Amino acid sequence: MTPAPDLTINGSATINGVPLFAPLSLTLAAGQWTCLLGGSGVGKTTILRLIAGLETGAVFDGEITASDGKSVQDRVAYMAQDDLLLPWATAAQNVCLGARLRGQKPDLARRDRLIKRMRLEDHMGKKPAELSGGQRQRVALARTLMEDRPIVLLDEPFSALDARTRADMQDLAAEALQDRTVLLVTHDPAEAARLGQSIVVMTQLGVTSCQPPHAPAPRKVDDLETLETQGALLRLLREEAA
């Protein structure tokens, strides 16, 4: 994998001439997790999709640049809230989906290492209907890692999981995505406080940076400073919604 760059988003967006978000400047630090919070409809997912070069339905007036001057979109891996696994394919086949869609021969040794890392060795031949929610998300994470991209975009990928499985997946993702430039969109102040090395709250008027806890991520769920940060983020979100 090539070194992860800083990523900067400058600009504004409209939908049918109606502002979606005001002019903003957001920088994602190289090799770190940036957590982006905000209420529904402020444009968080649009930011992700703009970076990935996907259709948004919005008109973006601005630019998205990498610190090394290279193209952004072909260095992005994207993990959505839904696992988006092919129901007729096995876990192992789903992990290799990207290569197969590009008509490339997948690196099976790498696939097997990732499946082992995700603790899915006993489930390689199973189809999604035979897997639990947490197992499906681990397959989706392995598929994201299989792309081996320096920029990783996560759109609330753990929100549908129960609390214990969500914490396990957060830990696993934090370990597996070290040294990547990661943007995690979340509604959950607790998740941002646990994982964020940079934490940003987005409204239709722009973005506000918030001080993350000093402990290295992923932080303990009962860490005092992490709980204080969670409370501060919740208060800020409630104030913005008022």
Span 70-99, mean pLDDT? 92
Rounded to two decimals, what is the model's pTM? Answer: 0.92
Position 230 pLDDT exceeds 90? yes
pLDDT recorded at residue 7: 96
Position 57 pLDDT exceeds 70? yes
Span 145-170, mean pLDDT? 89
Percent of the chain with pLDDT over 70: 98
Percent of the chain with pLDDT over 90: 63
Does 106 map to a domain? no
Span 10-33, mean pLDDT? 93
Does 138 map to a domain? no
How many structural domains is the chain composed of?
Answer: 1
Does 202 map to a domain? yes
Span 149-178, mean pLDDT? 89
Position 2 pLDDT exceeds 80? no
Does 69 map to a domain? yes
Structural domain span for residue 188:
7-86+150-241
pLDDT recorded at residue 160: 79
* Segment 91-135, tens digit of pLDDT: 999 999 988 888 899 899 999 988 988 889 999 999 999 999 889
pLDDT tier at 1, thresholds 50, 70, 90: low
pLDDT tier at 191, thresholds 50, 70, 90: very high
Does 39 map to a domain? yes
pLDDT recorded at residue 242: 61
pLDDT tier at 241, thresholds 50, 70, 90: low
CATH number of the CATH domain containing 214: 3.40.50.300
Give, in order, the Cα–Cα distances in Å from 222 to each of 52, 190, 213. 34, 10, 12
Does 222 map to a domain? yes
Q: How far apart are CA 183 and CA 191, in angstroms?
A: 13
Could you count the other beta carbons within 10 Å of the beta carbon of residue 53? 14
Does 104 map to a domain? no
pLDDT recorded at residue 100: 87
